[in-house]
Structure 1
Amino acid sequence: MAGSNYSGSSSDEHVKVTSQRKQGFLERLGETTGGMLVGLMAFLLSFYLLFTNEGRCVTTQNTLDEGLSLVTSLNDVFTPLPQNDGKLVHLSGSLMTLQPLFDPNYGISLHVVKLQRRVEMYQWVEYDDSRDYEENGEKKTETRYSYNTEWKPEVVKSKSFDREIGHKNPSSMAVESFISVAADVNVGNFHLSKGLIDKINTFKKIRLAKFESPHADIVIQDDYFYHSVNHRNPEVGDLRVSFHFAGLSGEWSFLGRPDVVTIVARQKENQLIPYQTQSGNILQLLYEESLSAVEVFEKEHAANSMLTWALRFAGWLLMFVSIKLMTKIFHTLVDWIPGIRDLVSLGLTVFGLCVATSLTLLTVAMGWIFYRPLVALLLGILAAVPILIARSRHRPKML
């Protein structure tokens, strides 16, 4: 780093300019070579991601189709029948917990599946905005730093600030966040496995109007416990605590009716556990609403389709970026010629888009070839379209 200087109009904002010698051609070429190696690794990874994603998609589809063909819907959740032992069952009912979850420090005690304490601390937060430019043959970076005080759920390390003086945060919180989970959760007389309990994650904020402050120095306002001398004008280091719950259970309470869930799992006596399918995957499904068996599997198919397309796009994007890295050397060779470097950059981008699209479709086709031969053939034809278009544009015209 050749040098830096500071300026600022206020104590909460300043500008820092750093400069460094402009890299020579050989240095830029060396960096490009390293990028090519990274690009090659990413290129190979994209093939693996795309191919295995298709196998995962088909396996999941087969698992869901198998599950729907085998599932037995239970009309009575209070009488586990022996003839259903080992079977894949579907049921809906209200949640029940045997013991309440509580936080004695704040006087919170509720019959819920999960109780969460969320702690936030009032702290300094640093923001930066940078721009690069060249001046007198040097590459310079101008960074504008600004500081603001906000409620944050994690400790913001002020030691990493560009200017810590006047913006120092405490190194820890006096009160920690936590989530408490009920050990025994039932639907009727069925006990839920840990895997099913883990799926209950729709948290709602607890209204604190019916609770009292546990200490004279703690104020309840806007459904927060404030550890502050003046919660309307907090100081750095002040805390505020809120409580949230997931899976309301038991009887009717001021929080409302018990939550209803729909479960698809294996019945083992009076327990609901994972079901191993012949397709290779396990089925252990829970939705926090009342659904029929058909609706549950429709939602799972939709989620599988969404994940498949998301991973396809991720694989394509990874392949495009890797091709850009591997071909960047051509741009480096001409980056000292203003007009040519722009044309080369555009050409490499178009080349990367065409090749990444074609190879992605071909890889997807290869992944499906053993499962959906007709779809694989169609994808193979589509993969050739960008290449044929590119070749047709460069074909010499006949006079």
Structure 2
Amino acid sequence: MGLSGAVCGWCCGIVLVCVAVIFLLWNEGRAVRRAYLLDEALSRCRSLTNIDVAFDNNNGHLVHLTGTLITTEPLEDTHYGISVWAVRLRRVVEMYQWVEEHYTREYEEDGETRKEVTYYYSKEWKRTLIDSSFFDESWFHKNPSTFPIGQKEWKAHTMVGSFQLSAALVELLTDWWPVELSFNDRLNSEGVILLDSVIYYSNNPTIPEVGDVRIKYEAAGHAGSTRPDRVSIIARQSQGAELTAYYSADLDEELLLLHTGTASHEEMFSKEHTSNIIMTWVYRGIGWCGTFIGFILFTNLGMYLVEDIPVIRELVSCGLLITNIILASSVTLFTIAIGWLRHRPLIAIALLAIASIPYMMMVKKQIPR
């Protein structure tokens, strides 16, 4: 590692720590707003026992209801003669294409650091076009420029009891399942091959070539007369018995919940709180890793100064590792405390006290006895 690399790492470390702190602050703000939104919604939610009639006195209010998904007709892709009773249906199109990967190796030669790049090519099924014109060996690895047919999604007009699901609510149905296909006249006229419920534009699906296309269908939300899905919903009852997002003016946040199965509104809010906590800790972990890596880059300049002294280098490396872990943990705790200072002052003060321990120990060591 040269001096320029150490200085560059020092600058990148500062930037990364700043970005990580901003990310942590955003995460705490998001967690606080979500927690307060769920608490506010719980206090205002009305649980409906009769979903066969949409009473006008509930218009504009947050309601909870449970029922089965109802659609009036199946979703169809007329191009291939595919029909399925579901709330959502999507056509997934993939093309067999060249994929480029590269491996970079750094080595020293004549006192200079050089890079050697090796390119590797493989063939894979991809849902998006890969532009082979940017390949290092584009002449020998060419991909088609377009798909013969595009991705597409269909959505049904869906009801639960007498209530109509809004488009945003339908989007929450994401438990996709593969649609089983059978050969029909439309597929026969297209001249395609059907194998394991997948449509192939290929001479041999078991040995595909670049440019071959395969199509499969996925659906979400069983509906109709056969085994319709039962769902639990928390939403705002609008005019016309449509279920839309609840808006909190105080928090400037929206809430719209749909869970598969039967669940009370207390159970649904409890699950959302748990999900919020898990997501918050995952993001905190990402933020901590960002600050830790940032401090490593920041302190690499110190490693450069002792790079040629093996014994001291090992001692400094171990000391810096421990220091970076402590600093990353302290900065993360400090940032979390700032995010909760207004809403949970006692917890925030406790976190600030813990975060300040390393700095107080440093100050204490510098005070002459």
Question: TM tier, shorter chain?
Answer: 0.7 to 0.9
The answer to whether residue 208 in structure 2 is matched with residue 234 in structure 1 is yes
Residue in structure 2 matching 1:172, options 143, 146, 151:
146
Partner of 1:372: 344
The answer to whether residue 163 in structure 2 is matched with residue 190 in structure 1 is yes
Partner of 1:382: 354
Tell me if structure 2 keeps the 8 A contact 1:32–1:328: yes
Report how many residues are paired: 365
Tell me if structure 2 keeps the 8 A contact 1:62–1:279: no
Partner of 2:181: 208
Shift in Å, 1:68: 1.8
Alpha-carbon RMSD:
2.9
Tell me if structure 2 keeps the 8 A contact 1:59–1:279: no
Q: Label 1:190 to 1:388 Cα distance change in 2 as closer, same or farther (>3 A).
A: same
The answer to whether residue 287 in structure 2 is matched with residue 315 in structure 1 is yes
CA deviations on 1:72-130 (whole Å, 9 max, x unpaired) are 21122221112222221111112223454322221113342221111111222334444
1:266-345 correspondence runs (5 A): 266-269=236-239, 270-277=241-248, 279-280=250-251, 281-345=253-317
Name the stretch that deviates more: 357-366 or 335-344. 335-344
The answer to whether residue 25 in structure 2 is matched with residue 51 in structure 1 is yes
Give SS of 2:220's match: strand
Residue in structure 1 matching 2:222, options 231, 242, 248:
248
Partners of 1:54 and 1:43 lie apart in 2 by 16
Partners of 1:111 and 1:76 lie apart in 2 by 25
- Which blocks of at least 5 consecutive residues in structure 2 are unaligned? none
1:111-126 correspondence runs (5 A): 111-126=85-100
CA deviations on 1:342-398 (whole Å, 9 max, x unpaired) are 443443332221111112112222322222232123323432455578899x89xxx
Q: Label 1:132 to 1:45 Cα distance change in 2 as closer, same or farther (>3 A).
A: closer
1:82-97 correspondence runs (5 A): 82-97=56-71
- Which blocks of at least 5 consecutive residues in structure 1 are unaligned? 1-22
Residue in structure 1 matching 2:41, options 55, 62, 67:
67
Partners of 1:297 and 1:210 lie apart in 2 by 45
Partners of 2:66 and 2:215 lie apart in 1 by 34
Partners of 1:371 and 1:216 lie apart in 2 by 62
Shift in Å, 1:178: 2.0
Q: Label 1:49 to 1:128 Cα distance change in 2 as closer, same or farther (>3 A).
A: closer
Shift in Å, 1:268: 2.0
Q: Label 1:333 to 1:70 Cα distance change in 2 as closer, same or farther (>3 A).
A: same
Which residue identity lines up with residue 185 of structure 1 in the other structure?
T
Partners of 1:374 and 1:258 lie apart in 2 by 49
Name the stretch that deviates more: 152-161 or 187-196. 152-161
Tell me if structure 2 keeps the 8 A contact 1:40–1:326: yes
Which residue identity lines up with residue 170 of structure 2 in the other structure?
I
TM-score, normalised via structure 2 length: 0.87
Give SS of 1:215's match: helix
